[in-house]
Amino acid sequence: MDAIILQTLNGLDKGSAYALIALGLTLIFGTLGVVNFAHGALFMLGAFCAVTVSKLFQLSHKASEATGVDFMGQPKFEDVLYVKEWFGNDLGAWLIDWSVPLSILFAIPIMIGIGFIMERGLIKHFYKRPHADQILVTFGLAIVLQEVVKYFYGANPIPTPSPMAFRGSFDFGVMLGFDPNVIIYPYWRMVYFAFSLTLVGGVFAFLQFTTFGMVVRAGMADRETVGLLGINIDKRFTIMFGIAAAVAGLAGVMYTPINSPNYHMGMDFLVLSFVVVVVGGMGSLPGAVLAGFMLGILESFASLNEVKDIIPGIDQIIIYVVAIIILLTRPRGLMGRKGVMEE
């Protein structure tokens, strides 16, 4: 019983990451019809926004007086952090500690900006090109973005811990009447779960309840008619692209304390996010979110030894097995719209 609760919790958390990434992708891929292989790179860029902010907070200069000697026998100078000099020790330390949540403020404008530039400068010209060309150009872009990050930050993962307040884990088990330590869950992962629910809800509400969202939804369904009504749908699509980039980026920012970011983390998530979107069904936002949570939970359960004893190696392939079963039993994924990317 406790194992089931525990893996459900895990699955919800994993799933929230999948759902967030898939949500951003499906905005571009499922609705604008662009096969965006650079989506993983956007996720990665978001994570590196957090890295950049924490590096900025840790900018330092050498102290004027030497303290001891370094490994070469040369005099060593302590690093003095600018933030601590400028804002005082307490506030400086607090800023460094909270650098990940704070970088959300930094990441939103940056990611929206990147989304705009990407759409206006590149993707716009590819709406009418074959999907194959879209794959090639966005894959090229993903490699370029990745290599640029590698050039500045190296290939090694960079630790970006969560604020002190969220380290450690919460004992759910005690609440539910189990022994202590049976069902524990890290605070930061709960934050991530709540954050992604908020973000998913926000995007849905935005599309559902605003005029802008209504126009965009209309544009997805029938771009030409909306254009004929005198509405500048192109501009709205650019904004949608910016929003999608921001969603991907924020997913990346908040993910950094869970796993240290590195330059190729985008590629690791790329295939998975496509699988999630397609399993959810092309053109369906709820489908992508649902598929994300479903695959997350199933993956968590598959990692139990009890399950692996029955089907060896199931945790290696569970996502793909489920994807195949769903696509074979439901022709358009869980909630796919007819005619989107089916030709």
| Residue ranges in 279-338 that form contacts with other proteins under rule CB under 8 A | 279, 282, 299-300, 303-305, 308, 312-313, 315-317, 319-321, 323-324, 327-328, 331-333
> How far is residue 294's CA from residue 46's CA, in Å, rounded to a whole number?
25
> Residue 34 or residue 245: which is nearer to other proteins going by CB?
34
Which residues from 239-258 bind other proteins, rule CB under 8 A?
A: 257-258
Please check whether residue 171 is in contact with residue 183, taking contact to mean a CB–CB distance below 8 angstroms.
yes
Give me the sign of the Cα torsion angle 284, 290, 191, 299. negative
Q: Which is nearer to other proteins, 18 or 241 (CB)?
A: 18
Residue 205 beta carbon to other proteins: minimum distance, rounded to whole angstroms:
28
Region binding other proteins by CB under 8 A among candidate stretches 12-20, 56-64, 90-98, 101-109: 12-20
Q: Is 6 near other proteins (CB under 8 A)?
A: yes
Q: In sequence order, what are the beta bridge partners of 185?
A: 170
- Measured between alpha carbons, how far is 236 from 231 in angstroms, rounded to an integer? 9
Which 256-275 residues touch other proteins, going by CB under 8 A? Answer: 257-260, 262, 264-265, 267-269, 271, 274-275
Other Cβ atoms within 10 Å of 265 Cβ, number: 23
Could you list the beta-strand ranges (E) of the chain: 60-69, 75-81, 169-171, 184-186
Binding flag, residue 119, other proteins (CB under 8 A): no
If binding is defined by CB under 8 A, does position 120 make contact with other proteins? no
Residue among 129, 198, 202, 222 that touches other proteins (CB under 8 A): 129
Q: Does 93 bind other proteins (CB under 8 A)?
A: no
Using CB under 8 A, pick the residue from 92, 117, 186, 231 that binds other proteins: 186
The size of the interface with other proteins (CB under 8 A), counted in residues, is: 93
Quick one: which of 269, 200, 235 has its CA closest to 46?
A: 269
Residue placing its CB nearer to other proteins in the complex, 80 or 229: 80
Cα distances (Å, whole numbers) of residue 124 to 116, 146, 152, 230, 293: 10, 22, 29, 19, 32
Query: What minimum distance in Å lies between the beta carbon of 240 and other proteins?
Result: 19
> 56, 116, 157, 239: which one contacts other proteins (CB under 8 A)?
157
Closest CA to 100 of 257, 265, 251: 257
| Cβ(60)–Cβ(217) below 8 Å | no
Q: Does 85 bind other proteins (CB under 8 A)?
A: no
First to last CA, the chain: 46
Of 85, 89, 91, 125, which one interacts with other proteins (CB under 8 A)? 125
CB of 39 to other proteins, least distance (A): 14
Alpha-carbon gap, residue 30 to 61, rounded angstroms: 48
By beta-carbon proximity to other proteins, the closer residue of 238 and 262 is 262
113 binds other proteins (CB under 8 A): no
